[in-house]
Amino acid sequence: MERQGKGGEEEAQTRLPDLSFVHDKLQKFQSKMLSDFEQRLSCMVEDVLQDLRQRELRAHEFPNFERSDRKSTWHNRVTSQAPADVSDSPNSHANGTQPRPQLQSETSARKPRRQLPEKVFVVRESYLTALLQVEHMRTIYHIFYIILVMFLLNVICYDYFVDGRFDLGLGTFRGGLRRLHWVMGVWLLEHVFVLALYFAFRGWALVRHRLKTHGSLQRFWSHSCLILYISSQLVFCFVSTSLCLKFNLPFVSACVLLLESTRLLMKMHAFVRYNAERVLNGKAKKEDVQEEEEASGRPFVPPLSCYTYFLFAPTLIYRDSYPRTSHIRWKFALNRLLEVVAIAFLYAFIHERHIHEHFGQYGLEPMGPSQLILKLFGMMLPSAVIFLCGFYLILHSWLNFTSELLRFGDRMFYKDWWTSHTYDAYYRNWNVVVHDWLYEYVYKDMYTHVFRGSKVAASLAVFMISAVVHEQVLGFALQMFFPVMFFFFGVVGVALVFLMRSAPKVMGNIFLWFSLILGNASLVSLYAMEHYALKNCSLSDQSWTDRLLPAAWRCYN
C-alpha cells in the first residue's frame, strides 16, 4: 500500500509540469481574447460615434442628403414587374404600382428570369449642386478657383518674360478650333438627317398598320425598313468620321464633330428602340399605363415636339415627357457657362505649359527609359487636373447649363463616383447619362435576346462597344491608329472590374484613385508622344505593317 501511495505521488508530481504548461497557455489565451475583445469593442464604439457624427453633420450641414426620400432621390431605376437584384434599384415600384401576384401554378411551372429595372425621371439636383450649398464644400470650390488663377498667372509671366507678349492661351484656341464653321455646317446637316428619321419612322408605322391584314407583306416591310435603318446608321457614322480626315480637322474641332455625331446616333437609336416596341405591341405607353390603340386605328407615334425636345435634352433615354422645373434660374445658368469657359482656358494653359513642354520635341531629342519615366511623372498632376476638370466641364457645368435653359428637372448626370471602392461602382456612377443608355438599349437587349440571361456576357458586350466608340473618337480626332484607349478601357478596365469586387472599402478607394491618376497620366503621355512623333519624325510607310507600328516607337528604332 505504501508503495502504491508513493507511486501515485510520483505520478502526480510528473503531471504537475504538464498542468502548469496548460495553465500558462490558458492564461495567454485569456489575455489575448480579452485584448482582442477590448480592441474590437473600442473599434465598434468608434464606428458608432463616427456614424453619429456623420448623421449630425448631414442633418445640419447637408440638408439635401438627410431626407426621408434620399434613397429614392439618388436612385434612378425601378422595376415594373418584380424587384431586381441590382444594386442601384430601390425596393419600391414606379408611381406606386405593385407587381402582379403570380399564381402558385405559374411559379411552380417555371422560374421566370429576373425583371430588369427601368429608368425613372424625377426632379432632383446634381450631387455637386447639392454639396456646394455647404460652406465647407464651397471652400474646396474656391481652392480650385485659386488654382485656375495660378495657372493664369503662370502663363502671363511666361508669355511676358520669355516670349515678350501676352497670348493667354489664345493660340491654342485658334489652332484647336480651326474650320469650326465647317463643323457647324455638318452639324446642321446631321440634324436634317435626324429629323428625316422621325418622318421615316412615322411612315413605317403607318404602312405597317395598313398591311396588318397581309402578314407576309407586313413582315417583309418591317424587315426591309430594319435593314434600311441599320444601313443609314452605319452611313451616318462613316460620314462623320471620314469628314474629320477629309477636312483635316484639328483635335478640338474633330472632337466636337465626333462627339455630337455619336450623341445624335445614340438619340436616334433611343427613339426608334423605344417607340418601335410600342408600335409592334400595338399599344401606347403613357405614364406607365398601357392603352390600346386609339379609336381611329392609327398606331401611336409621338408628336414631333416630343422628338425635338428629346434631341436637345441632356439625356439619352427617350420618354414622351420629362419632369420640368417651374422657371429658369438665369444666374445659375450663367455661372455654369462661365465655368465652361474657365475650364476651356485651363485646358489651353495645361496644353501650352505642360503637354507641349514635355513632349513637343519628342522625336528630335534623345530619349531613354529614364527620360520617359521623368516625363510620365511630370504629367501626373496635369493629367489628374485634366481628368477632374473634364468630368466637371461636361457632366456638371455643360449639362446643368443646358438643363437650366430647357427646364429639364432630372439633373442626376453622375453619382458619387469619387467614393467608389470598386471599378464596377465607378463605371456605374461616373457617367450616368451614357451608362443609362448602355444599360437600357444594349445591356437589356443583350441580356434578354442575345445571351439569354447571362449577365457576364452582356456586360462584356457593353464594355467592348463602349471601348470601340471611345477609341474611334480619339483615333479619328488625332488621325492615328494607336489603340491605347481601347486597351485601357476594354482590357485593363474589364479586368479591374472583376479583380476589385471583393476589395476592402478603404483600400479599394485608394487603389481606384491611384489607378485613375496613373492611368490618365499614361494615357495622355502616350497619345502626346504618338502625336508629336508623327509631327516631328519623317517616317515612310514602306508596307502596311508600318502603319500598325506606333510612330513613337519607330522614331527611335
pLDDT for the residue numbered 148: 82
d(CA 315, CA 204): 25
pLDDT for the residue numbered 480: 86
d(CA 344, CA 382): 14
| pLDDT single digits (tens) 415-437 | 889 988 889 889 989 999 999 99
Query: Where along the chain do its domains lie?
Result: 169-285+294-312, 328-556
Q: Is 350 a residue whose pLDDT tops 80? A: yes
Beta bridge partners of 285: 290
Q: What is the pTM of this model?
A: 0.78
d(CA 442, CA 445): 5
- Of these residues, 269, 435, 470, 531, which one is catalytic? 470
Contact yes or no for 345/351 (Cβ under 8 A): no
pLDDT for the residue numbered 510: 92
541 Rama sector, left if φ>0, alpha if ψ -120 to 50, beta otherwise: beta
**131 CA to centre of own chain:** 20
Q: Among 1-15, 53-67, 417-431, whose mean pLDDT is lowest?
A: 1-15
Pairing mode, strands 118-119 and 77-78? antiparallel
Contact yes or no for 481/475 (Cβ under 8 A): yes
Q: Is 267 a residue whose pLDDT tops 90? A: yes
Read off the C-alpha cell for 548. 500598325
| pLDDT single digits (tens) 519-534 | 999 999 999 999 898 8
Q: Is 205 a residue whose pLDDT tops 80? A: yes
470 an active-site residue? yes
pLDDT for the residue numbered 91: 32
**139 CA to centre of own chain:** 27
Q: Is 287 a residue whose pLDDT tops 80? A: no
Q: Among 281-290, 372-381, 482-491, whose mean pLDDT is lowest?
A: 281-290
Give me the mean pLDDT over the 293-311 stretch.
78
Contact yes or no for 341/348 (Cβ under 8 A): no
Which DSSP state fits 161?
I
Query: What number of residues does the chain have?
Result: 557
d(CA 49, CA 56): 10
| pLDDT single digits (tens) 390-416 | 999 999 999 999 999 999 989 999 988
Contact yes or no for 258/465 (Cβ under 8 A): no
Of the pLDDT bands very low, low, confident and very high (cuts 50, 70, 90), residue 130 is confident
Pairing mode, strands 289-292 and 118-119? unpaired
Contact yes or no for 271/289 (Cβ under 8 A): no
pLDDT for the residue numbered 311: 93
Give me the mean pLDDT over the 293-316 stretch.
81
pLDDT for the residue numbered 360: 87
pLDDT for the residue numbered 65: 53
Is the Cα dihedral 71, 73, 79, 82 positive or negative?
positive
Of the pLDDT bands very low, low, confident and very high (cuts 50, 70, 90), residue 59 is low
Give me the mean pLDDT over the 495-512 stretch.
87
d(CA 231, CA 237): 10
Q: Among 114-123, 183-192, 272-281, 522-531, whose mean pLDDT is lowest?
A: 114-123
Contact yes or no for 255/477 (Cβ under 8 A): yes
Contact yes or no for 433/441 (Cβ under 8 A): no
| pLDDT single digits (tens) 140-156 | 888 888 888 887 888 88
d(CA 202, CA 204): 5
Of the pLDDT bands very low, low, confident and very high (cuts 50, 70, 90), residue 86 is very low
pLDDT for the residue numbered 356: 87
d(CA 336, CA 310): 21
pLDDT for the residue numbered 5: 52
